[in-house]
């Protein structure tokens, strides 16, 4: 995937964004680790959470599994792989996990 990526020239990609976009996460474990670190850091900044709080909600191994699964659905028309993943977690997956956790806690009381 990354070797065939063509970043949209309409955007001013920073060096960091360009580096993350071009990661070979499919074949290099260290690149997949870096993609996961990027997504986790973005989610923590966005929610003002620590990694520990995020991993309490969703264990790290589950998050890594879901990052890979979501990355595999990425298409060039979505423009940015990391943002595609981050926005999915932010708008769909984490709210769902929070609701499920609240339901379990309410059911247990």
**10-residue block means of pLDDT along the chain (109 residues)?**
71 90 94 96 94 95 96 86 93 93 84
Q: What is the pTM of this model?
A: 0.85
Q: Report whether 68 contacts 32 (CB < 8 A).
A: yes
Residue 86 tokens read as: 């981050």
Q: Report how far apart, in Å, the C-alpha atoms of 101 and of each of 32, 44, 65, 70, 84 are.
A: 28, 18, 19, 22, 24
pLDDT for 4 equals 65
pLDDT for 81 equals 92
pLDDT for 10 equals 83
pLDDT for 109 equals 67
């Amino acid at each position: 995937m990354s070797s065939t990526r063509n970043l949209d020239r309409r955007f001013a990609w920073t060096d960091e964004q360009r580096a993350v976009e071009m990661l070979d996460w499919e074949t290099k474990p260290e690149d997949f680790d870096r993609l996961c670190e990027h997504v986790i850091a973005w989610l923590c900044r966005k929610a003002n959470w620590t990694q520990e709080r995020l991993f309490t909600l969703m264990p790290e191994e589950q998050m890594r599994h879901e990052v890979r699964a979501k990355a595999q659905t990425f298409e060039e028309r979505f423009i940015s792989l990391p943002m595609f993943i981050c926005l999915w977690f932010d708008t769909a997956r984490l709210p769902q996990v929070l609701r499920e956790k609240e339901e379990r806690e309410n059911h247990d009381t």
